[in-house]
Amino acid sequence: MRIILARHGQTTANAEKRFQGHIDFPLNELGLQQAENLAGQLSQYNPGRIYTSDLCRSIQTAAPAARLLRLDPIPSPIYREYSWGELEGLSWPEIKERYPALFSRLRHDLRGADIPGQEPQDEFRQRLQKGLSMLLDPGGPRTVALIGHGRYLNAMVVEYLGLDFNGPWPFSFASAAVTVLEEVAGRRRILKFNEECHLTGELHA
């Protein structure tokens, strides 16, 4: 069983280093180009299903691959990004100006800081586990793809590998990069991580 993970393409909010969360930012011009290039890379794995977050940046990223593979993408709020509460839409300088005490805590412990309105971690993990169960459906294809979000994919890899969910989440995903998870005889591993070869020459456009 293989799960092909890809983070959505770049948005203007990404370029400006803003917290996106549930805000529905669309892809920018570079992000749309990344989505087109991602399609060819994903097609090499021939997934039988393409799941996506219900936010437009993920749906837009999945569209070229879905057309190429002649699949209907399956959007779901289960795969939506983690909600950052009152930080959504803000850049680091704006957070420092509006919430100086919180800014200091965030710089030292992003995971442990108490952010007003954020998604509770236990609820986020329950949503994550439901999403992973959908991907691992024993009655489904042996290879599936998920177009998602950076923090969600980070936590999903931790959950998939059985690492300590309350410990570090060490996986960072570039825009439109590909990660491949594989399970053979009950053993799970990362087969490929954060592959960007299909984006060569475009990341700094």
Active-site residues, by number, are 8, 81
- What is the DSSP annotation of 68-87? HHT---EEEGGGPPPP-GGG
Of the CA atoms within 13 Å of residue 41, those in its CB half-sphere come to 25
DSSP type of residue 185: T
Q: In what order do the strands lie in the sheet with 74-76?
A: 74-76, 49-53, 143-148, 2-7, 178-184, 187-195
- What is the DSSP annotation of 108-134? H-TTTS--TTPPPHHHHHHHHHHHHHH
Q: Which amino acid, residue 179?
A: T
